[in-house]
Chains A and B, each alone.
Chain A
Amino acid sequence: MDCIQTEMTLYEKLQILSDAAKYDVACTSSGVDRRGDGNGMGNCSRAGICHSFSADGRCISLLKILFTNECIYDCKYCVNRSSNDVVRTSFTPDDICTLTMEFYRRNYIEGLFLSSGILKSPDYTMELLYVTLYKLRHVYNFQGYIHVKAIPGADTRLIRLTGFLADRMSVNVELPTAEGLRRLAPHKSRKNILTPMRFVQDGMRQNREEITLYRNAPRFVPAGQSTQMIIGATQDTDYHILSTAEALYKKFDLKRVFYSAFVPVNRDSVFPAVSHDGPPLLREHRLYQADWLLRFYHFEAAELLDEKNPNFNIFLDPKCCWALKHLELFPVEINRAEYRMLLRVPGIGCKSASRIVKARRMGNLQFDDLRKIGVVLKRALYFITCSGKMMCPTKIEEDYITRNLLNTKERIPEGAGSLNYRQLTLFDDMDPEKARLTFQ
């Protein structure tokens, strides 16, 4: 093994270890504002900065790499699993520091995203990550963004030390249910994954108290933690996935849950039949929309889906679906409705809702004002009145509105629904209830 490693050039290592890291979707550099102290290199901006977009249209913000693609585990969905015959290699801490610094100086990246396969043991691996980060922060004086993985099963003291050097930490829950995990990642367990997550959460809480006591206390994971779930590698429904996400937000104060459409890199009979449409991108998109509803629109997972309707509709976004099921609450009067109710109207986003609340203090709003404010009227018109009047005569009836909403093209990210778009035009009048089945 060693001789392979020493023979390999930095170029080859980078190719292998970035290729192996690419299925991790998180690449944001957001969540923390930090100015440089003048003695090193780098700073952070709260909104995050994207530096490029790769051929798949995803943002590149961080140098996303594995420390090593060696792994003692054998997770079924992973390229690096021990049973795969792939070229193995590892960086050294200095390799990683040099790459990060030299890329950062040229403004290619915002920082480092460091993950790893499990080399020898969780502790051994976590220590390597720690040593790398320590060097990067204290020898190379790097002050840009660092996102690092906490390795499940590693000594919490190692995780704690690492957390003081990182901006964000994440542990991937990988699969929405414990059962899925048991089948696909036999060496991992729910408990094993949630323990470091809880630990980081407690660490952050404690750190917040320390910072109120003395301002210069070292910061522990200031940009918070995130996690990721693979979508479509098991039979789990959207309801399972969203409920898990909700529980993670509530119980673990996560900053973000990411969803990653499953790309079958290994042939294995445990996976559901692979569809020919490629990874389930539209499904991933719907989950992100619903996630948004949980985080910013005060929705609960159980309002959007339930055991009887466990999957999102491919034709209509989750908010429209919810509204159609609750027509008794509509139409709402724009000039009087509470902010939270405005948020629930299809076609009204967070920004428009707060603009409405501000603007109506000055006087009654008309439909024209709403357009200027940024409300998407062609979706909202079925659900609102302005001074008691609807924009145009319309029936408040599920079928009728559904048909009309389906005719207003939703903006789906390019490519996410190419196949489904074709379906849409083929079966213009298709019953959305039936359409749901195509997911399975």
Chain B
Amino acid sequence: MKQVYICHDTVTGIYSALYDAWKESRNREAGIELRGKTQQQLFCEYRIVEECEKKVPAVQRMIKRYMGYNTYWDFYLAILSDDNEKGDAVFRTMQEARRIADSTRIMDHLGCPAVAKVFELSRRVSNEAHIYKEVIRFRELENGVLFSEISPRTKILACIAEHFADRFPLENWMIYDKTHKAFLAHRAGAECRLICGEELNKESASRISANQKEYEELWKAFFESIAVKERENPKLQRTHLPKRYRREMTEFS
């Protein structure tokens, strides 16, 4: 009977499930499903995974060692995606990797549906992360913190941390992911921290600094005047910058 592992939709949850599944069921049909999103099927045995931090580095090490760093990174990104079958796809890809001569090349085997799925999810996340490097807008709060709110579909905070930390090493900044209720927080001169499951204090996030309005106005003025009237082209603008990102962008508000 097919063994199905059930875990939370978190990095720890999914890696724990992979840990258990790999340990017990790598040689048979097994699957990974997310809590609250399972599709109960007949002839399956369901088991709730015991999630624990220690299992995470253990599986990650194993993946890096046998499948290489790039594969590890594709898995990691796929796990941050918004697809309910992501755990399953990663697990099946790991199974497939055992069947081929050079396991580090597993991500080239796009003919395998599981591999194709992981590849697609990984790209979905890295594309979204890239878009947010472009469209994130910070506002300066009263206390000098640069603050941004975003609504990404996937959990990209971990993928943009390094980019902004390198860019603004001497600033205190914070990005709040509204979709997943998570913060990425950076203190001047320190490392980034990812904080999950916290609510935003809307009141303090709305207290902007004395200068903030002025720079918003300056930016909007620039945004207006830099467009060439004779070339106006809202359709082209929309293909490059879909409407859903604009809600959180200064120049469109």
Q: Which residue numbers of A lie inside 8 Å of B, CB to CB?
A: 10-11, 14-15, 18-19, 21-23, 35-36, 38-43, 49-60, 63-64, 99, 102-103, 105-108, 144, 261, 263, 278-279, 281, 413-415
Contact = CB atoms under 8 A, between A and B. Distances in A.
Interface stretch (B47-55, B78-86, B165-173): B165-173
A56 B221 CA distance: 15
Contact of A57 (B134, B136, B233): B233
B235 A414 contact: yes
Contacts, number: 138
B149 interface: no
Nearest to A56: B231
Contact of B170 (A40, A50, A51, A60): A40
Contact of B134 (A35, A38, A42, A51): A51
B117 interface: no
A55 B251 CA distance: 11
B139 interface: yes
Contact of A279 (B170, B221, B227, B231): B231
Contact of A99 (B168, B218, B236): B218
The secondary-structure label for the interface of chain A is loop
A107 B136 CA distance: 7
5 contacts: A56-B227, A56-B229, A60-B223, A102-B218, A103-B222
B182 interface: no
A86 to B, nearest CB: 14
The 8 A-B pairs at the shortest CB distance, nearest first, are namely: A57-B236, A54-B227, A56-B231, A55-B227, A414-B235, A415-B233, A414-B236, A57-B233
B237 interface: yes
B221 A11 contact: yes
Contact of A11 (B166, B218, B228, B230): B218
Given A56-B237, A414-B235, A414-B239, 4 more contacts: A14-B222, A53-B241, A105-B138, A106-B138
Contact of A52 (B140, B225, B232, B249): B249
A55 to B, nearest CB: 4
A105 B168 contact: yes
A102 B222 CA distance: 13
Given A22-B227, A56-B228, A43 B166 contact: yes
A38 B240 CA distance: 33
B215 A263 contact: no
A52 B223 CA distance: 9
Interface residues of B, number: 44
Contacts of A35: 166
B239 A50 contact: no
B219 interface: yes
Nearest to A17: B225
A64 B226 contact: yes
Contacts of B250: 106, 108
B135 interface: yes
Contacts of B167: 36, 41-43, 144
A400 B216 CA distance: 57
Nearest to A262: B230
Contacts of B197: none
A356 to B, nearest CB: 15
B120 interface: no
A54 B215 contact: no
B227 A103 contact: no
B30 interface: no
B115 interface: no
A237 B169 CA distance: 51
Nearest to B148: A107
Contacts of B236: 53, 56-57, 413-415
B156 to A, nearest CB: 15
B237 A53 contact: yes
A41 B219 contact: no
Contact of A263 (B225, B228, B233): B228
Contacts of B135: 51-52
Contacts of B222: 14-15, 18, 63, 103
Central interface residue in B134, B135, B231, by most chain A CB within 10 Å:
B231
Contacts of A39: 169-170
A207 to B, nearest CB: 24
B227 A36 contact: no
B231 A278 contact: yes
Nearest to B171: A105
Contacts of A42: 167
A99 B219 CA distance: 9
